[in-house]
């Protein structure tokens, strides 16, 4: 079978603004435009060329850009991340794919001790993106369902992005590729082909470091990101209709740096805050967000800041167990009602 036959071919030209696309296609289109616009941008990772990626996100890229810009690698995350760091230091803009984001742990030393620290050590920019599928609800079990963003929250010099919508996926991947710092780009695999939106006019850039108020409310703030945004919005609509509780929903979009201004303004308005994430609770992004709210909004709080996360266990494979493990709409509604009535 030829390379062209083995890959699911995608569009060979960028799609027009206004085209309805999936979350996965939005990321494809963002990368496509950045590669067209800058010869310094190249892709590197396992099975991204001939095979087109485990989720077919890079299908057709090898034919369009050639093997010098779409580089298949051995199964060595530390090795190809190290290659990307060196290339970035020499003026290139690598986009590294982790076939599943879980395996980013194999490159932890390269990321936190080399990519993240180079600018601090000697002023050397490292403009690179490490992207890949994260999250659960696809029955991938403990090695293919993780949310490892909390591991990297502690490392200075790294930016962390986790889009929840088609428009943000498109705009943030473009901003990440243009950023002079290393950016970890977490794509929730459950969203890949389940949500749709339209490609924006123009460049459609979304600034890194800015949260978004997705739903206005007065009674309680729910702060979240990635697939949990959709859980929060469903719960908010249900509570408004059934209980008259109006929830303000904040999509963080960027986990590092956090948008303190948007968080503080929302919680000062509502007086109550619940942080909803899909990570394990201990040492989580949710804990950092909750701490900032407690520090900056204590005088405005009418109840304790709450976290609704996953238990401190590996992600289970069994569908019923995974459903119980992850926050869902029913349990979120119960948590919100208890906090609203505190």
Rounded mean pLDDT, 303-332: 96
- Host H or E run for residue 255: strand 254-256
**Which residue has tokens 């019923």?**
320
3-state secondary structure of 158: coil
Rounded mean pLDDT, 167-188: 98
Confidence tier at 1 by pLDDT (50, 70, 90): very low
In terms of Cα–Cα distance, which of 173, 217, 163, 168 is closest to 197? Answer: 168
Contact 21, 204 (CB under 8 A): no
Spans of all domains in the chain? 20-198, 212-340
Residues recognised as catalytic: 144
Cα torsion 330, 333, 339, 342: sign: negative
Distance of CA 66 to the CA centre of its chain: 28
What is the overall mean pLDDT for the chain?
95
Contact 176, 129 (CB under 8 A): yes
- Cα–Cα distance for residue pair 157/143, rounded to 1 Å: 27
Neighbours of 150 (CB within 10 A): 21
Reply yes or no on domain 20-198 having CATH 3.40.640.10.
no
- Cα–Cα distance for residue pair 302/316, rounded to 1 Å: 36
Cis before 98 (ω within 30): no
CA dist 81 → 107, 109, 135, 137, 191 (Å): 7, 10, 21, 28, 26
Give DSSP secondary structure letters for 326-339: S--HHHHHHHHHHH
Q: Residue 125: is its pLDDT beyond 90?
A: yes
- Cα–Cα distance for residue pair 103/84, rounded to 1 Å: 16
**Could you tell me the fold of the domain covering 212-340?**
Rossmann fold (3.40.50)
- Cα–Cα distance for residue pair 8/10, rounded to 1 Å: 6
Query: What percent of the chain clears pLDDT 90, i.e. is strictly above it?
Result: 96
Confidence tier at 250 by pLDDT (50, 70, 90): very high
Sheet holding 212-215, edge to edge: 212-215, 247-251, 220-224, 273-280, 306-310
- Cα–Cα distance for residue pair 66/78, rounded to 1 Å: 24
Q: Residue 281: is its pLDDT beyond 50?
A: yes
Confidence tier at 299 by pLDDT (50, 70, 90): very high
- Cα–Cα distance for residue pair 89/202, rounded to 1 Å: 30
pTM for the whole structure: 0.94
Asked if 20-198 and 212-340 have one fold, the answer is yes
Pairing type for strands 196-198 and 20-22 reads antiparallel
Q: Residue 4: is its pLDDT beyond 80?
A: no
In terms of Cα–Cα distance, which of 1, 59, 5, 66 is closest to 27? Answer: 59
Rounded mean pLDDT, 161-182: 98
Question: Which residues partner with 130 through β-bridges?
Answer: 96, 184
In tens, the pLDDT along 13-37 reads: 899 999 999 999 999 999 999 999 9
- Cα–Cα distance for residue pair 102/47, rounded to 1 Å: 16
Q: Residue 230: is its pLDDT beyond 50?
A: yes
Q: Residue 5: is its pLDDT beyond 80?
A: no
Neighbours of 337 (CB within 10 A): 15
* 22-43 burial code (b ≥16 CB/10 A, e <16): bbbbbbbbbbbbbbeeeebbbb
- Cα–Cα distance for residue pair 141/32, rounded to 1 Å: 31
């Amino acid at each position: 079978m030829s390379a062209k036959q083995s890959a699911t071919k995608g569009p060979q030209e960028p799609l027009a603004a206004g085209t309805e696309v999936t979350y996965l296609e939005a990321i494809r289109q963002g990368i496509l435009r950045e590669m067209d616009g800058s010869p310094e941008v190249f892709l590197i990772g396992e099975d991204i060329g001939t095979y087109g990626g485990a989720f077919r996100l890079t299908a057709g890229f090898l034919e369009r850009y050639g093997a010098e810009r779409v580089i298949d690698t051995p199964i060595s995350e530390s090795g190809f991340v190290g290659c990307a760091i060196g290339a970035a230091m020499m003026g290139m803009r690598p986009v590294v794919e982790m076939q599943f984001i879980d395996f980013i742990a194999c490159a932890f030393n390269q990321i936190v001790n080399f990519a993240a620290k180079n600018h601090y050590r000697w002023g050397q920019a490292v403009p690179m993106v490490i992207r890949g599928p994260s999250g659960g609800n696809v029955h991938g079990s403990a090695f293919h369902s993780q949310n490892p963003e909390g591991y990297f929250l502690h490392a200075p010099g790294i930016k962390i992005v986790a889009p929840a919508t088609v428009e943000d996926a498109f705009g943030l991947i473009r901003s990440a590729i243009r950023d002079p710092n290393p950016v970890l780009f977490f794509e929730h695999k459950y969203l890949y082909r389940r949500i749709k939106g339209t490609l924006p006019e123009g460049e459609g850039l979304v600034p890194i470091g800015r949260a978004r108020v997705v739903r206005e409310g007065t009674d309680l703030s729910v702060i979240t990101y990635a697939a949990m945004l959709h859980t929060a919005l469903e719960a908010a609509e249900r509570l408004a209709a059934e209980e008259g509780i109006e929830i303000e929903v904040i999509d963080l979009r960027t986990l590092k740096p956090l948008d303190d201004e948007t968080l503080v303004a929302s919680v000062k308005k509502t007086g109550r805050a619940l942080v909803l994430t899909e990570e394990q609770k201990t040492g989580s992004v949710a804990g950092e967000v909750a701490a900032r709210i407690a520090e900056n909004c204590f005088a405005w709080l009418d109840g304790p800041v709450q976290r609704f996360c996953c238990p401190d266990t590996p992600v289970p494979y069994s569908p019923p167990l995974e459903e119980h493990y992850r926050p869902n709409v029913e349990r979120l509604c119960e948590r919100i009602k208890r906090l609203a009535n505190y």
